[in-house]
Amino acid sequence: MPSPHVTIEPHILYLGTPVVLISTVNEDGTHNLAPMSSAFWLGWRGVLGLAADSQTTRNLMRTGECVLNLPSANEVSAVDRIARTTGSNPVPEFRQALGYVYEPDKFGRAGMTKLAADTVSASRALECPIQLEAVVAAVHGIGEDSDDLRGFIKLFEVRVQRVHVHPDLLMAGHANRIDPDKWSPLIMNFQKFYGLSAQVHPSRLAEIPESAYAPLAQA
């Protein structure tokens, strides 16, 4: 049977991932807040893809700590206010070409409130419904086989060590479960913002109790 698909070569493959606001501590003790969406989780480990020349990357390499603040669709305006801003001064040439500007007070520009974390020096963003305190477990390169990519991006494996959740997101009758019908993460899809619709189909995978994955959380 002939395929109905066409072959294309898009410049980006941002096929839909959650937005994360990463907070870190700058060298002068001030707090940086940076939006990104190259992130995923396995157990209580997260994998973050960041430009090697970003302020967030430098802070992570120096301090080994961060808070991953997850906005819902309700916080989209705050996220967009710090898009195309950087804590790096001077602004790297690549970012200058994309219209980025230096912003020393990302929390203020976003209109978000700094809240002390329990286990790391980085601040939580009060307005984000989910906040994950994390430490760097490993750093990897990406694109080592490409002269154009080598050294341009770093992959951080982080270990989550404290989870803060707004109580409105909890599943009824469960102290440690997030109700997916109540949590609508902000999604970056080809550089545009989206939320989630309602569940579209029952999931056989969801028949597995979450407790079955407890060993991953403890690793």
Domain ranges for the chain = 17-218
Residues 19, 188 contacting (CB under 8 angstroms): yes
Cα separation, 34 vs 193, in Å, equals 16
CA 131 to chain centre: 10
pLDDT digits (tens, 9 = 90+) for 155-206: 999 999 999 999 999 999 999 999 999 999 999 999 999 999 888 888 888 8
DSSP annotation of 199: -
3-state secondary structure of 96: helix
pLDDT bracket for residue 213 (50, 70, 90) = confident
Percent of the chain with pLDDT over 90: 82
pLDDT digits (tens, 9 = 90+) for 85-108: 999 999 988 888 889 999 999 999
To the question of pTM greater than 0.85 for the whole model, the response is yes
Structure tokens at 13: 């493959």
Selected from 2.120.10.30, 2.30.110.10, 2.60.40.420, 3.30.365.10, the CATH number assigned to the domain covering 17-218 reads 2.30.110.10
Structure tokens at 218: 């403890």
Strands 101-102 and 20-25: unpaired
Nearest to 188 by CA among 109, 95, 91, 70: 70
pLDDT digits (tens, 9 = 90+) for 17-35: 999 999 999 999 999 999 9
